[in-house]
Amino acid sequence: MSYRRAAFELLDGDVRVRNESYADPTAHEYRVRIRDGVPDSCSCPADASGDDPCKHRVAVAIRPPILELAVQMRVVADGGSTSRGDDDTTDLPCECEQLSEALPCWNCIVAGRRKLSE
């Protein structure tokens, strides 16, 4: 099995998956549609021709933070709320000291303690 570098981009509640291992990555990017919190379909030829989920859908499914953000984005786009209900994320441990100053840890982003730099 070969290693593939993937890049993910949120698109109105869906996810663009781009294979960065190619010389022209834009020729290898596909839109994974999220429906009911699950990667439901992909614009790649393999997803259209097979019964099993393609590798792009699997790549999104095994990355809960990306999938969760896509679901939250769809809720916002549909006019809903991003409230997490009774979930208390404020006590998540900080792991920022292991990262660069410009990139906070996921726990701090989720808890609202830090934001991604723009």
Q: b or e along 54-80 (b: 16 or more beta carbons within 10 Å of the residue's beta carbon)?
A: bbbbebbeebeebbebbbbbbeeeeee
Is residue 44 domain-resident?
A: yes
Instruction: Provide the residue range defining the domain that includes 110.
Output: 84-118
Dist. CA 43–CA 98, nearest whole Å: 36
Question: How confident is the model over 94-98, as a mean pLDDT?
Answer: 77
Is residue 12 domain-resident?
A: yes
**88 and 68, same structural domain?**
no
What is the percentage of the chain residues whose pLDDT exceeds 90? Answer: 35
Question: How confident is the model over 4-30, as a mean pLDDT?
Answer: 90
**64 and 89, same structural domain?**
no
3-state SS, 96-117, equals: HHHCCCCCCCHHHHHHCCCCCC
Choosing from 61, 77, 93, the residue where a domain stops is 77
How does pLDDT run across 33-89, given as a tens digit for each residue?
Answer: 999 889 999 999 999 887 899 999 999 999 999 999 988 887 765 665 544 444 555
What is the percentage of the chain residues whose pLDDT exceeds 70? Answer: 81
